[in-house]
């Protein structure tokens, strides 16, 4: 079973694919979907859609977990991220992927044990669950936190899934 986790954004969207093999979690791919800051909103959304379809073609996920849009102080950003999330949902529908949404606090709580965990705590928790090989590329400035957040979304889905999560979780905590 392959799960893709998505941390939505318009400039930078994190994604992470985790495969469950014999009760083990294997990070298959984690990276970023990036759009040109000079692109129009519609060009950026089209780019996200195309790139996500390409990722689906390559990694063949069976379910998609996505972080719910969180409304904070910047309404304009929330609206743009909501638009990007809509394009991501459209891509999932194109592939007939079931989609599961999780609130940021739920993701943090499930993955790190703390619903108010900061970015560094989430990154460390993702490494604890998936191994030390989950890190940013050496000598490269990246937005690894977006990819780590996407892996955290996928982990949250795996651990909370009624179909597989409870059994898998029990196997992992032994």
- pLDDT of 37 strictly over 50: yes
Enumerate the domain spans of the chain.
Answer: 2-172
CA–CA separation, 74 and 62 (whole Å): 33
Across 33-38, average pLDDT: 94
- pLDDT of 51 strictly over 80: yes
Buried b (16+ CB within 10 A) or exposed e, 139-162: eeeebbbbbbbbbbbbbbbbbbbe
DSSP codes joined into one string, 11-56:
SEEEEEEEEEETTEEEEEEEEEEE--TTS-HHHHHHHHHHHHHHHH
Give 20's pLDDT tier (boundaries 50, 70, 90).
Answer: very high
Mean pLDDT over each residue of the chain, to the nearest integer: 87
- pLDDT of 32 strictly over 70: yes
CA–CA separation, 8 and 153 (whole Å): 11
Query: Pick the residue with more confidence: 167 or 23?
Result: 23
pLDDT score for 139: 44
Residue keyed to tokens 């996500």: 52
CA–CA separation, 68 and 66 (whole Å): 6
pLDDT tens, position by position, 101-160 = 999 999 999 999 998 899 889 988 999 989 866 765 544 545 678 899 999 999 999 999
- pLDDT of 163 strictly over 70: no
pLDDT tens, position by position, 82-101 = 999 999 999 999 999 999 99
> What CATH number should be reported for the domain whose range is 2-172?
3.30.420.10
The first and second tokens of residue 123, run together, are: 């990154």
């Amino acid at each position: 079973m392959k799960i893709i986790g998505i941390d939505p954004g318009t400039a930078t969207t994190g994604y992470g694919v985790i495969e469950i093999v014999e009760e083990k979690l294997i990070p298959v791919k984690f990276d970023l979907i990036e759009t040109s800051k000079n692109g129009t909103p519609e060009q950026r959304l089209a780019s996200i859609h195309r790139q996500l379809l390409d990722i689906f073609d390559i990694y063949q996920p069976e379910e998609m977990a996505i972080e719910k849009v969180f409304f904070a102080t910047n309404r304009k950003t929330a609206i743009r991220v909501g638009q990007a999330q809509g394009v991501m949902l459209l891509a999932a529908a194109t592939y007939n992927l079931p989609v599961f949404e999780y609130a940021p606090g739920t993701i943090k709580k499930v993955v790190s044990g703390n619903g108010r965990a900061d970015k560094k705590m989430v990154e460390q928790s993702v490494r604890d669950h998936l191994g030390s090989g989950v890190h940013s590329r050496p000598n490269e400035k990246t937005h690894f936190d977006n990819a780590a957040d996407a892996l955290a979304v996928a982990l949250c889905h795996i651990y909370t899934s009624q179909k597989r999560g409870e059994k898998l979780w029990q196997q992992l905590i032994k």
